[in-house]
């Protein structure tokens, strides 16, 4: 049973090896750390990390773990979680015993400005707004309407996993967005979801 879920970005800047004397994203880091703490508060037996598979560039370099998985494992280790971690492309099958927490590694478009990784694409704003409207309204079912192919074109990450969240049994008023910004032209979200029992 999924007891809680969180959406955080698979941003390499969150990895320890990218740390510097001055944190370039302190607000993002605080929001992410708090989201992971909320997952730990349900005392999960297992954390399911929903993330994209490694891309071709990773595989060519001999890296078998996607950036999303690396960031997720780093965050969980920093939070002191030493339980079972499974990695999946979507939600786990229901019916397994125990309490699960879901960590969805996803970000919006990476084409929100001329200096963004993918340069400016005007479609990025409506795409990101649709996801944020679903979060703000607490209407996870609306995430199923996100266009995954358009997300690919906009260099968004984890959109198929985000779409799978449409089936989460969220409690009323339990979807909270604690961060939404695009400091590098990439839309990053931090969202916590308390699931109905």
pLDDT tens column, 92-122: 766 566 789 999 999 999 999 999 998 999 9
Residues of the chain above pLDDT 70, percent: 93
Average pLDDT on 180-191 reads: 95
Output the six-digit token pair for 44.
Answer: 């999960």
Nearest to 74 by CA among 163, 8, 26, 165: 8
Confidence of residue 170 (pLDDT cuts 50, 70, 90): low
Over 60: is that where the pLDDT of 172 sits? no
Higher pLDDT among residues 97 and 48, named by residue: 48
Pairing verdict, β 84-88 and 188-195: unpaired
Structural domains of the chain in order of their starting residue, each with its CATH number: 2-195 (3.40.830.10)
Task: Please state, in angstroms and rounded to a whole number, the distance separating the CA atoms of residues 30 and 197.
Answer: 28
5 touches 193 (CB < 8 A): yes
36 touches 79 (CB < 8 A): yes
112 touches 180 (CB < 8 A): no
Positive or negative torsion for Cα 3, 43, 6, 161: negative
45 touches 81 (CB < 8 A): no
Tens digits of per-residue pLDDT, 73-98? 999 999 999 999 999 988 776 656 67
Higher pLDDT among residues 196 and 158, named by residue: 158
- For residue 114, the model assigns a pLDDT of 92
User: Other CB atoms closer than 10 Å to residue 42's CB: what's the count?
Assistant: 16
For residues 7, 86, 155 and 23, what is the CA-based torsion angle, rounded to 10 degrees?
60
Average pLDDT on 145-155 reads: 95
Confidence of residue 13 (pLDDT cuts 50, 70, 90): very high
User: Where do we find the tokens 């906009």?
Assistant: 154
């Amino acid at each position: 049973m999924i007891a809680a879920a969180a959406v955080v970005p698979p941003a390499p800047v969150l990895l320890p090896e990218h740390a510097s004397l001055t944190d370039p994203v302190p607000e993002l880091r605080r929001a992410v750390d708090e989201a992971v703490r909320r997952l730990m508060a349900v005392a999960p037996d297992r954390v399911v990390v929903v993330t994209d598979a490694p891309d071709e560039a990773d595989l060519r370099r001999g890296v078998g773990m996607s950036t999303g998985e690396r960031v997720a494992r780093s965050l969980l280790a920093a939070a002191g979680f030493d339980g079972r971690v499974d990695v999946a492309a979507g939600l786990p099958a229901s019916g397994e015993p125990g309490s699960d927490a879901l960590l969805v590694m996803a970000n919006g478009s990476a084409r929100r400005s001329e200096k963004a990784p993918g340069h400016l694409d005007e479609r990025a704003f409506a795409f990101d707004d649709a996801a944020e409207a679903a979060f703000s309204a607490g209407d996870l079912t609306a995430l199923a309407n996100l266009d995954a192919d358009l997300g690919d074109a906009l260099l968004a990450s984890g959109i198929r996993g985000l779409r799978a969240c449409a089936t989460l049994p969220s409690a009323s008023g339990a979807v909270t967005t604690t961060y939404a910004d695009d400091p590098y032209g990439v839309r990053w979200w931090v969202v916590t979801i308390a699931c109905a029992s």
